[in-house]
Structure 1
Amino acid sequence: MGDDGQVLFTDDPTLSAVARYWAARRRGQPMPDRTDIDPLHLPPSVWPNLLLTEPVAGSSAARYRLVGTAHVERYTFDFTGRTTAEIMQGSYRDYMERIYATTLQEGVPVYSESVFRWDASGYAFTRRLMLPLRHGGPSAALVFSAQVWPSELPVHPRSITDLSGTGGFRDGFFIALDPDTFLPRDTRDL
């Protein structure tokens, strides 16, 4: 939560649009079902920033089922069908898997921010909103999310595998949000 008690992402049109859509598709339930979500019902400007992931049984990893083109451009390859264990390393992998686990286990939206040491010339900042989805049952089974990069890249795109393996992940935090208000429930710093 910001110092003024506001929802953390209201300043970002992509994150706000995804939050409004998810909330409307809940229809009085704790979270929408996967069948209630169709990314084509969101503004086309949002599509490149979307992700859909599912947990990998018996693992802390998540598998990417939908990867928007902004991610492909930013990280240099399409990681649809790949897992966090296959494309991420070190503390960044741990960080992302904790966010996915929190979203799934608590069944609530999660907001996160992180900073990468992109190269010798500077840092890149990113923001995410991760939203739980049911898939035929009562509990969270998938994570529908949007990720944005408010700042321009200091240089050319880099592979997420390279970025996470070279100590590029500088720091990050995430906050579980109340599903009705999108206000923070708690903060977890790394």
Structure 2
Amino acid sequence: MLSDCAFRAQLVLPEQRVLFDYWCGIARGRAMPARADFDPLKFPDLLPHFAVIDLRDGFERSHFRLAGTRLREIYGREITGLTLTEVFSGRRATPWHTIHSRIATDAVCAQGIAHGPAEGREHVVLYWLRLPLSDDGIRVDRILCHDTGASETDVEQISEFTAYCAGQRGPEVLRA
């Protein structure tokens, strides 16, 4: 099992580490914090990169409850209100479904890098972080997302979708 310290060490961006540290702090020894514990206004510079996936109606009906303005650039459209299957379709659907399902089922944190995070967005390299939230402390009812995109010209080309989850020993490489 990947420890919190090892998971944190794999986070690429400094803002991911700050957010993960905050998430751990507000959990206060619980498996995960509640949505009410999370104050997005503590991170004004990160607000455009945040999204919340709402799972309260079940995983198959999950949707983006809210999405920051920068996510429109990453995904090529406004995703607030859209279901996961509407945002992640085509060859990218399976890796994203696997990751979000694992977070919802196992209450693990996940992060990674995806080249072409959504259909038609092959020029975007996405640095992503997913953190589970739970109002009752047991069932994941929301997923806090932090997504930062870069163009291929800004980073070395990535040809695979890589995910690191807190509950595994190494990277899970999902080909799409």
In the TM superposition, what is the alpha-carbon distance from 1:76 to its structure 2 partner? 3.4
Runs of at least 5 residues in structure 1 that lack an aligned partner in the other structure: 155-168, 179-183
What's the secondary structure of 1:16's corresponding residue?
helix
What's the secondary structure of 1:140's corresponding residue?
coil
24 and 117 in structure 1: CA distance in 2 versus 1, 3 angstrom threshold = closer
Poorly superposed stretches of 4+, deviation over 6 Å: none
Runs of at least 5 residues in structure 2 that lack an aligned partner in the other structure: none
2:171 maps to amino acid: T
Rounded Cα–Cα distance in structure 2 between residues aligned with 1:147 and 1:16: 13
| Percent identity of equivalent pairs | 22
91 and 185 in structure 1: CA distance in 2 versus 1, 3 angstrom threshold = same
What's the secondary structure of 1:65's corresponding residue?
strand
- Give the 5 Å matches for 1:92-103: 92-103=92-103
What's the counterpart of residue 175 of structure 1?
Answer: 164
In the TM superposition, what is the alpha-carbon distance from 1:16 to its structure 2 partner? 1.5
In the TM superposition, what is the alpha-carbon distance from 1:99 to its structure 2 partner? 1.0
In the TM superposition, what is the alpha-carbon distance from 1:63 to its structure 2 partner? 0.5
Rounded Cα–Cα distance in structure 2 between residues aligned with 1:112 and 1:170: 13
What's the secondary structure of 1:32's corresponding residue?
coil
What's the counterpart of residue 7 of structure 1?
Answer: 9
TM-score normalised over the length of structure 2? 0.78
Deviations 1:94-143 (A, max 9, x none): 2111111111111111112111299xxx8432111100100235221111
What's the counterpart of residue 162 of structure 1?
Answer: none
Aligned residues: 162
**1 or 2, which has the higher strand percentage?**
1
TM-score normalised over the length of structure 1? 0.73
Asked if the contact 1:117/1:123 (under 8 Å) is kept, the reply is no
What's the secondary structure of 1:112's corresponding residue?
strand
In the TM superposition, what is the alpha-carbon distance from 1:87 to its structure 2 partner? 2.9
144 and 62 in structure 1: CA distance in 2 versus 1, 3 angstrom threshold = same
What's the secondary structure of 1:146's corresponding residue?
strand
Rounded Cα–Cα distance in structure 2 between residues aligned with 1:38 and 1:66: 14
Rounded Cα–Cα distance in structure 1 between residues aligned with 2:35 and 2:58: 22
What's the counterpart of residue 140 of structure 1?
Answer: 140
| Pairwise CA RMSD | 2.8
Asked if the contact 1:14/1:148 (under 8 Å) is kept, the reply is no
What's the counterpart of residue 105 of structure 2?
Answer: 105
117 and 18 in structure 1: CA distance in 2 versus 1, 3 angstrom threshold = closer
1:8 maps to amino acid: Q
What's the counterpart of residue 163 of structure 1?
Answer: none
